[in-house]
Structure 1
Amino acid sequence: MNKFEKLEDVAYQDDVDVLNYRFESNNIKGLYCDGVIAIREDMTIPEKTCALAEELGHHETSVGNILDMTSAVNRKQERQARLHGYNRLIGLIGLVNAYEHGCQDKYEIAEYLEVTEEFLEECIECYRNKYGICKQVDNYVVYFIPQLSVMKLV
């Protein structure tokens, strides 16, 4: 079972319907409204996985109509939903696991974690803003500056 299928199961258990949908705009990857998530039907599985994770984040963290991104409150809710998706699909432990698996670059990490490179890069940027230079997790230090790297502590 891939990550997308696992997320569909999570949605089902939360009474959230997930629908494949043909959006008119190429800019829309997914939308959440009142217990229904619509995912753009013509995306790859990793793209759908990333979109579904973010929309589940909206289900769990957002309140009301947040389409107006000129509102600071709405931008904050959007950031929270994205962070929720990053933590669900990647997380610090996911970066450590990719390192232990022998992943050498962002392409390999994204493939290992079943996410897009774009989603991974956005996650790293978000973590860089949240944690700064690095963050220790268990016996590892995950560095975000100058680039993503993981160091195992002895």
Structure 2
Amino acid sequence: MKKLWDIIIKESIEIRYKDFSSLPENINGLYIYDQRLGPLIILDKGLHHSYRLHKCVLAEEIGHFYTAARTNVLTVHTSANLQTMESQDERKAGQWATDFLIPDKEFVKALEAGCRSCFELAEYFDVTEWFMYRKLDFLKMCFRRTKDSLP
């Protein structure tokens, strides 16, 4: 978590906590660019009670900062193109977050250390199982692209 806070300080990202419990969707964090404040991450205050989820959500929101989100989740998208762009933005931020918290070289070390299940890997990296599954999905997409490009 310290590395994430170091990024926040270095990049002058404003962090705010709000109660998201009344929102209709299961939202834990938002990244927006505010004209006055600059980059702003708003997190659900309930994350204070779940260290691993807090860490994973914060990493993904920082991922939005680094991958330059092109859409605004606060706007309803009626266009298929905008929905596709939003999906791509989420994938890029998730990729950044999983690569940051679970670097590929460290992932290989975890496998060599005997981690076999998603639960064991999540424990090893101190992330949620859902986040670990996401990393595995990104790796699967990477291997699929690599396999398709081989002669």
Settle same-fold status: TM greater than 0.5.
yes
Separation of aligned partners in 1, 2:132 and 2:70: 28
Deviates more, 1:43-52 or 1:103-112: 103-112
CA–CA separation in structure 2 for the residues paired with 1:106 and 1:125: 12
Question: 1:64 & 1:132 partners in 2: Cα distance?
Answer: 26
4+ residue segments displaced more than 6 Å: none
Q: Which has the higher strand share?
A: 1
1:22-61 matches, within 5 Å, as: 22-23=19-20, 24-25=22-23, 27-34=26-33, 35-43=39-47, 44-61=50-67
Unmatched runs of 5 consecutive residues or more in structure 1: 136-154
**Contact 2:70–2:85, Cα closer than 8 Å, also in 1:** no
Aligned length: 132
Kept in 1, the 8 Å contact 2:56–2:97? The answer is yes
Query: Contact 2:95–2:138 at 8 Å: present in 1 too?
Result: yes
SS in 1 for 2:127: coil
> How far apart are 1:100 and its partner, in Å?
3.5
Deviations 1:17-70 (A, max 9, x none): 222321132611110112111122213111011111110111111244332384
Q: Does 100-109 or 29-38 show the bigger shift?
A: 100-109
User: 1:66·1:77 contact (CA, 8 Å) conserved in 2?
Assistant: no
Q: Does 1:82 align with 2:94?
A: yes
**2:127 maps to 1:127:** no
Q: What SS does the aligned partner of 1:42 have?
A: helix
Decide which moves more: 68-77 or 26-35: 68-77
Do 1:20 and 1:40's aligned partners in 2 also have CA atoms closer than 8 Å? Answer: yes
What fraction of aligned residue pairs are identical, expressed as a percent? 28
